[in-house]
Amino acid sequence: MTTATVVKDIEKALQSLGVQRENKGSSTGSQWFAGGDMITSYSPVDGEAIGSVQMTTREDYEKVVETAEKAFKKWRSVTAPQRGEIVRQFAESLRKNKEALGTLVSYEMGKSYQEGLGEVQEMIDICDFAVGLSRQLHGLTMHSERPGHRMYEQYHPLGIVGIISAFNFPVAVWSWNTALAWVCGDVCIWKPSEKTPLTAVACQNLIAEVLKDNDMPEGISCLITGDYKVGEMMTHDSRVPLVSATGSIRMGKIVAQAVAARLGKSLLELGGNNAIIVTPDADMKMTVIGAVFGAVGTCGQRCTSTRRLIIHESVYDEVKNSLVDAYKQLRIGNPLDENNHVGPLIDKDAVEKYQAALKKVVEEGGKLLVEGGVLEGEGYESGCYVKPAIAEAENHFEIVQEETFAPILYLMKYSGDVENAIDIQNGVKQGLSSAIMTTNLRESERFLSYAGSDCGIANVNIGTSGAEIGGAFGGEKETGGGRESGSDAWKIYMRRQTNTINYSDELPLAQGIKFDL
């Protein structure tokens, strides 16, 4: 793929999505505010500037919140199925613009074109899920202990939902939240990563058009842009009852403390340190495929990326040798070229952390099986392309205990029963995704039992990376405990209310208490 071809594809995508080279950064729908200083988005693919947005000022933020509050009063009165219809139309818009948005995601973030398309498809899928959900926002009916009484519970919208998303899934995670929040009757304010602001501008353009076509008020979908200081406006704002934040553990702790200080609600999706356990009964072909994609997909920049491979000593050499051979076949380069497996890291800061991690694992006593390094020369001018690496390590190594957002895979042995492997897997502070490769039913059931994986996601005979929207996504421990996407994750976007109706002609008190006047 030539530079000219890339430029042509990006220009076409930007034009199709209504994204300019210079954009205002705060929006309440079709209305955009001028804002403050400019943020320039550079592509890790070639290092070129794609475009810029203006940072949201305090004044702009106040306009956004005031407009969102006003929109909420109307939006909550729209029936849930009608709200679902708006989300359905948004999904149709995504289908029409899938290629353009997928291209922009790939170019601005650096993931492969197929992954960019896959991310947009995930947006479409969660919208479809939300449409069905719009007719199933159900509560429970309970029997009252008092005669002539009926008890039930129902759910009401919260109000404004604040969304802080990360660069690695610049649009999908936003849609996980908004699609559900919208059908629940909430309005949303989104602060995307300052590293990927243009994809957010594109999404805001698409939903704004849908809302305008349906004569819906400004403020149902809002956008603010900037660094962490802009995010702090939301986390400290009592007008935002729920803040959903995706990012590092460090960031999540700051958000959680700020929101908790005002007794708000937070939904946290933070770091992962995900492991695959490989038992003697594993299907080796499936193991290699799952481990390689989990470790190098999105250049190791998924919260579900495979960081650790815990291999039984009896099959350790076989797995190790197969992985080393597989890594020799990886093609690293422009992610818009579908012949390549691995694209760049997001920026040079990420490259420095990758290099520091490789140095650290050796210093702690590890051994590099597949050496890493930064690629240079034609096609690698951005300085963000690195070689996926494999290192033998121990779980207690300081660097292994941390999450490095890069394609580094740590191999370690276990002996004896599968419980020993589970102990190693659980022996980190993160608890997002986990997997076991085995054809042994007893091993798989132990892994999934109360004494097994302590992660929010536990898979058998598939890798750690990726998730379907039908299941609730999230993790335990320092991953934050949040749940997004499928199952009953919708409940966090609503407030629960218990109702009791007395249809008798008396007023009996609960627990048989007598209070005669």
Locate 83 and state its tokens: 């709200």
How far from chain centre, in Å, is Cα 279?
Answer: 30
Name the catalytic one among 115, 269, 403, 478: 269
Give φ, ψ of 478 to 5 degrees. Answer: -80, 5
The answer to whether 230 and 62 are in contact (CB under 8 A) is no
Locate 415 and state its tokens: 């002996």
Give φ, ψ of 222 to 5 degrees. Answer: -125, 155
Name the catalytic one among 184, 188, 303, 455: 303
Whether residue 303 lies in the annotated active site:
yes
Whether residue 203 lies in the annotated active site:
no
Instruction: Tell which residue, 201, 154, 190, 150, has the closest CA to residue 16.
Output: 201
d(CA 217, CA 198): 24
Q: What angle do CA 480, 460, 414 make, to 5 degrees?
A: 85
The answer to whether 209 and 516 are in contact (CB under 8 A) is no
The answer to whether 465 and 433 are in contact (CB under 8 A) is yes
CB-neighbour burial class of residue 204 (10 A; exposed 0-12, middle 13-18, buried 19+): buried
The answer to whether 223 and 171 are in contact (CB under 8 A) is no
The answer to whether 145 and 75 are in contact (CB under 8 A) is no
d(CA 242, CA 489): 13
The answer to whether 117 and 98 are in contact (CB under 8 A) is yes
d(CA 3, CA 1): 7
d(CA 415, CA 223): 52
d(CA 486, CA 145): 34
77, 161, 174, 361 from 69: Cα distances, Å:
13, 11, 20, 50
The answer to whether 424 and 396 are in contact (CB under 8 A) is no
Instruction: Tell which residue, 321, 320, 343, has the closest CA to residue 330.
Output: 343
Q: What is the DSSP string of 74-135?
A: HHTTS-HHHHHHHHHHHHHHHHHTHHHHHHHHHHHH---HHHHHHHHHHHHHHHHHHHHHTT
Place of tokens 């896959």: 118
What sign does the CA torsion over 297, 484, 137, 190 have?
negative
Catalytically annotated residues = 269, 303
